[in-house]
Amino acid sequence: MCLTAGLILVAWLWPILDAVPTRIDEPVRRDPTIVLLAADGKPFAEFGPHRQPPVTRDDLPDHFIDALLSIEDRRYYQHFGIDPFGMLRAGLRNARAGQIVEGGSTITQQLAKIDFLGGEQSFERKIREVILALRLEAAYSKDEILLRYLNHAYFGGGTIGLAAASDRYFGKKPRALGVRESAVLAGLIRAPSLLNPQASVERATERADVVLAAMVDAGKLSPQAADAARREPLSIRSAGSDPDPGVWFAQWAVSTLRYEGKEDMSVRTTFDPRLQSIADTAVRGAFAGARAKGAGVSQVALVAMRRDGAVLSMVGGLDPGKTQFNRAYQARRQPGSAFKLFVYLAGLRLGYRPDDVVMDMPVNIDGWSPKNYNGRYYGYISLSEAFARSVNTIAARLGNAVGASAIILAARDLGIDADLNAVGSLALGTSGVTLLDLTGAYASVAAGVMAVEPYGIETHSTAESRPRLDHRGELLEMLRMVVDQGTGRRAALNQPVAGKTGTSQSYRDAWFVGFAGDLVVGVWVGNDDETPMHGITGGSLPAQISHDFMEKALPLMPAAPTVAQSGPAAAETAGGFFVEETGKADNGFFEVADQPLFFREQRGAD
């Protein structure tokens, strides 16, 4: 019977013992802290636990050690990692108090749980904890274990380690902590989320009073000194209601980071704090005016990038303190006429030309009869003018002529990967896209290459050559005309600007996406619940925001880098854009085989 019982015990213990980590020199459980650095090398955002350099014994005031050991492990320097007497004493005190005022586990056991075992509550985990505590005691001195515990313990608010907690809650180095402040920090380790002083000063101070009483009971503090400590002023730093500048960019950039390591790391990004400040100011100023006029608009998104796709600044909403939903890259909204870029590129590929002429008139395509924004028809009009004036009927007929598959291919070639519905209304931008992707598509035109990919991490490789974008010169001609003469005039500057406005049905979304020099900017405004705005179009508020941003941001932009292209060379014009050499003679109207013929056969008509 004894042999059978022994075999059963071994069989039960074996998987428990087998799960005990073999190495105790480094924690097996560690969440990395990722610090994002702006383009200038300065940190601006942190993800994961907040840490600071580890403390040494010289960094710690004696009264903090006394506070910690009095409330957590009074016999720390006498026991061997397990303290049966301490467990019994803690049980009796907790029973008398009617609540948990003292823990039964030793600091060594708590370190074993923090570094190796996690928060699982089970008898098997407790056995592993005891074994690890004994091994830690055999391998390290008491001071080494204590320091490792203080540098790895969680202090609430995403803070790891005493140094980080002292700075977060009191703005001090640990050495400068007062007795009452030490009692607060020593007390919150037991329940860091509940006793976080930034979340509840009352609970934190009540717990600190318990710690001071424990120090008196342990003989580490006189009753008079404890009373004096309770009267010490307690100035707790605010958690901060205003998010740091760059919070929207940081949220997006870290979502693109693929890191599975356990070590802390710093990551260089493309973020430009100067441009972020300009973007925030432009958005606030424009919205103050729009709201004063009762425009019925509540949200905004802005993306600014270089033409190689390097995102420089981002606004994902008006108030990052209220929501983490980033409208710059998470919201898919109807782009309206801003989508016509792909329709016209598809047309150019099939032989249509910007100066080809069409009769603008009522149209019916399989029962669908799109209308123009102002309800009027322009008669004979060139494709470029129709693009500049955002004439819906012409875009619908061109879309019908080239076909949905050609439009979708053009969108894919410029980097749009959203689901696009192959229906007639696709030509008028009825399929949802993100502002980030749409801005990247316009960056492709600015760069003269296919499918520029927006990126925020500097390790992103942009050196590989991309296929050269066909018909770029013609697209630039039409995009310039939008700003110079068409719906995007509010975005005009004292230098060449190209872009396109977009407004979805019933004023639910309004867009402007454009570029000048090496700066590409996309702006969206609307409401999260898709309620209509009051007459806000892409040529009004979004174009104004783009103008206000670009006007101040462009002087800060460095010289534009060359985006590697494959295919025929491109030449830069004095106007600041790259114009392709097509080598195609101006031979008049091109009739596209097997497509409806709706253009006049003579160019240059009134």
Quickly tell me which residue has 């005039």 as its tokens. Answer: 489
Q: What is the mean pLDDT of residues 310-333?
A: 92
Q: Cβ distance 275 to 257 under 8 Å?
A: no
Residue type, 502: G
pLDDT digits (tens, 9 = 90+) for 201-221: 999 999 999 999 999 999 999
CA distance 229 to 373: 72
Token representation of residue 318 = 């008006």
pLDDT above 70 (res 198): yes
pLDDT digits (tens, 9 = 90+) for 268-297: 999 999 999 999 999 999 988 776 578 899
Q: How confident is the model at residue 17 (pLDDT cuts 50, 70, 90)?
A: very low
CA distance 573 to 584: 18
**Residues of each domain in the chain carrying CATH 3.40.710.10:** 276-580
CA angle 13–15–17, rounded 5-degree value:
65
pLDDT of residue 141: 92
Quickly tell me which residue has 């977060």 as its tokens. Answer: 168
Most confident range, picked from 42-46, 170-174, 460-464: 170-174
Most confident range, picked from 69-73, 91-95, 292-296: 69-73
pLDDT digits (tens, 9 = 90+) for 151-167: 999 998 889 999 999 99
412: Cβ–Cβ under 8 A, 6 or more apart, which residues?
451
Q: Check residue 556 and report its DSSP letter.
A: G
pLDDT above 50 (res 605): no
pLDDT digits (tens, 9 = 90+) for 108-140: 888 888 887 766 666 666 777 888 888 888 889
pLDDT of residue 123: 61
pLDDT digits (tens, 9 = 90+) for 526-559: 999 999 999 999 999 999 999 999 999 999 987 6
Q: What percent of the chain has pLDDT over 90?
A: 59
Q: How confident is the model at residue 24 (pLDDT cuts 50, 70, 90)?
A: low
Rounded mean pLDDT of the chain?
84
Token representation of residue 521 = 């900017």
The number of beta carbons lying within 10 Å of the beta carbon of residue 537 is 22
CATH 3.40.50.720, domain 276-580, yes or no: no
Residue type, 25: D
**Residues of each domain in the chain carrying CATH 1.10.3810.10:** 46-230
b/e code 595-605 from CB counts within 10 Å (16+ = b): beeebeeeeee
The DSSP bridge partners found for residue 311 are 305
Model pTM score: 0.78
CATH number for the domain whose boundaries are 46-230: 1.10.3810.10
